[in-house]
Amino acid sequence: MPEETAPSLEQLEDLVEDDRYAQAQAMVATAHPSDAADALQALEPDEIARILETQDKRHVADVLEELPDDIAAATLVRMSATDAAEVVTELLSDEEADILAEVPEEHREAIILALDEGQRTLARELLSYDEDSAGGLMQKEFVALSLRARAGEAIAGLQARADEIASYPAAYLYVVDGQGVLKGILNLRALLFSQPETSVLSIMTKNPVSVNVATPSQDLLKIFRRHRYLALPVVDDDGVLRGVVTKDDALQFESEEIEEEFLRFSGIAGGEEVRDMPTWLRTRRRLIWLAVKMALNVAVGGVIAHFSDTLREVIALAALLPIISDMGGSAGGQAIAVSIRELSLGRIKVEDALWVSAKELGVGLLNGLILGGLIAAGAFVWQHNLVLSGVVGVALLANTILAVCLGGVLPLVLQKLRVDPAAASGPFLTMTTDVCGFALVLWLAGRFVEYLK
């Protein structure tokens, strides 16, 4: 098992602190790109840029591809436009689009202008696609054959470009007409088994399955799951072959999406954090979400303040309130998670909100009855007061039902409003269930206060 170990890279941060850049540069220059990227993540973008400025542009590109896109972009911004353009030229086309998309507009324009003409057109094309569409995921590295080619020429052409082609992902060759319109797909094996004078036209698969540059990644994954293609050609609205998207690319994109979603769901802005990142960067990314939650919590505090007389009179409620609030948040969180998953898989849309809440209602009712019964029983054992038991039991039941229905629907509505459902659903849900749960318990308690004292 090949495993390039690079113990010395662990000292990179110390070298930079001691201003020993020459040593840091020498170390990164000889490291495997992914090891180098791992170590560089601990540094600030100017430090990364300073280490990379002396390196071979191809190696810099390999390293940037392994860094989170926003850090790679921040590093590019700190290079001269000419240097950055040279690095961009070496990036794989799908990474190029992702990284350039994170570069602030004025810097991006300067880098693009420094590219040579072919690369400039390519960069503008790549940037025109949505990140999570076939156009954003595709690679521009593929082999296109002319419709009029013969097998012998095609094989000779392939052999001449063998080194370059060896790094291409595709097991297929694509056949296009004079306008670049996709006309067929050719299996490498079929080509190799043919006589040299056979025309490509006669051995290709006609009317090949292709996807449009705008096809969303969700749909791509469905096609790859359903059929056993390893790669699909990507065409524009005129049928012109624009690139190739592989199953690997689509799968890798999906797992990165879920990872980021998981972190955004837990309140990490941007969906990317590793502990090697600088402390202040990590602090800021976490703080944004915490500050929003704190602001929402003011409403929760307000409800309790409003009912503080009741609470003072029936102080036992203070011990039961956190249980009701936590159960609402937890039950609602389960429903949110299922909806976020089903949204990402394309199983539900905003129009399904009613169906989703109907499906949640049953679960909420059953769990609310069971858990409400438990808390009521527990409260009775503790305080020997049936009215108190009833108040907390009913409040927990009602709050659980509200929480699961709201939790199920919230991600759909937020998605529709173009607010990130992963990051926003949780805070909004807990605020609502806390406000409603507390208000319900304390209002009910206020109505029956003479039986509760």
Which residues inside 175-194 make contact with its own copies, applying CB under 8 A? 188-189, 192-193
Distances (CA, A) of 358 to 304, 354, 364: 31, 6, 10
Q: Which of 414, 428, 435, 437 shows the shortest CA–CA distance to 333?
A: 428
Residue span binding its own copies (CB under 8 A) among the ranges 102-110, 114-122, 217-225, 410-418: 217-225
What is d(CA 307, CA 299) in angstroms, rounded to the nearest whole number? 13
167 counts as binding its own copies under rule CB under 8 A: yes
Report in angstroms how near the CB of residue 344 gets to its own copies at its nearest. 8
Residues 56-92 as b or e (16 or more Cβ within 10 Å = b): ebebbbbbbbbbbbbbbbbbbbbbebebbbbbbbbbe
Number of shown-chain residues binding its own copies (CB under 8 A): 100
> In this complex, which beta carbon is closest to its own copies, that of residue 120 or of residue 222?
222
Touching its own copies, residues 425-444 (CB under 8 A):
430, 434, 438
> In this complex, which beta carbon is closest to its own copies, that of residue 40 or of residue 77?
40
What is d(CA 411, CA 335) in angstroms, rounded to the nearest whole number? 10
Order of strands, sheet of 211-212, starting from the edge strand that comes earlier in the sequence: 211-212, 231-235, 241-246
Residue span binding its own copies (CB under 8 A) among the ranges 51-59, 72-80, 89-97, 296-304: 296-304
> In this complex, which beta carbon is closest to its own copies, that of residue 126 or of residue 340?
340
- Determine contact, residues 243/135, Cβ cutoff 8 Å: yes
- Determine contact, residues 296/370, Cβ cutoff 8 Å: no
Helix (H) or strand (E) holding 179: none
Candidates 101, 201, 374, 419: give the one binding its own copies (CB under 8 A): 374
Candidates 22, 156, 160, 171: give the one binding its own copies (CB under 8 A): 171
Candidates 5, 195, 202, 279: give the one binding its own copies (CB under 8 A): 279
Q: Which of 410, 369, 391, 399 shows the shortest CA–CA distance to 450?
A: 391
Candidates 111, 261, 397, 415: give the one binding its own copies (CB under 8 A): 261
Candidates 113, 144, 318, 377: give the one binding its own copies (CB under 8 A): 318
Touching its own copies, residues 49-108 (CB under 8 A):
none
Touching its own copies, residues 333-352 (CB under 8 A):
333-334, 336-338, 340-342, 347-348
Report in angstroms how near the CB of residue 26 gets to its own copies at its nearest. 22
117-127 helix and 105-113 helix, angle to the nearest 10 degrees: 150
Report in angstroms how near the CB of residue 105 gets to its own copies at its nearest. 31
161 counts as binding its own copies under rule CB under 8 A: no
Helix (H) or strand (E) holding 176: strand 172-176
Touching its own copies, residues 386-415 (CB under 8 A):
408
286 counts as binding its own copies under rule CB under 8 A: yes
Report in angstroms how near the CB of residue 387 gets to its own copies at its nearest. 18
Report in angstroms how near the CB of residue 306 gets to its own copies at its nearest. 9
CA count, 13 A, side-chain hemisphere, 156:
8
What is d(CA 408, CA 309) in angstroms, rounded to the nearest whole number? 35
366 counts as binding its own copies under rule CB under 8 A: yes
Cα angle for residues 134, 58, 34 (degrees, 5° grid): 75
The string of DSSP letters for 50-109 reads HHHTTS-HHHHHHHHHHS-HHHHHHHHHTS-HHHHHHHHHHS-HHHHHHHHHHS-HHHHH
Distances (CA, A) of 260 to 56, 254, 372: 31, 10, 35
> In this complex, which beta carbon is closest to its own copies, that of residue 85 or of residue 445?
445
Instruction: Please name the amino acid found at residue 215.
Output: T
Candidates 152, 157, 378, 390: give the one binding its own copies (CB under 8 A): 378
Candidates 22, 362, 377, 386: give the one binding its own copies (CB under 8 A): 362
23 counts as binding its own copies under rule CB under 8 A: no
> In this complex, which beta carbon is closest to its own copies, that of residue 104 or of residue 301?
301
What is d(CA 218, CA 133) in angstroms, rounded to the nearest whole number? 8
Number of residues that this document lists for the chain: 453
282 counts as binding its own copies under rule CB under 8 A: yes
Candidates 113, 370, 377, 417: give the one binding its own copies (CB under 8 A): 370
267 counts as binding its own copies under rule CB under 8 A: yes
9 counts as binding its own copies under rule CB under 8 A: no
255 counts as binding its own copies under rule CB under 8 A: yes
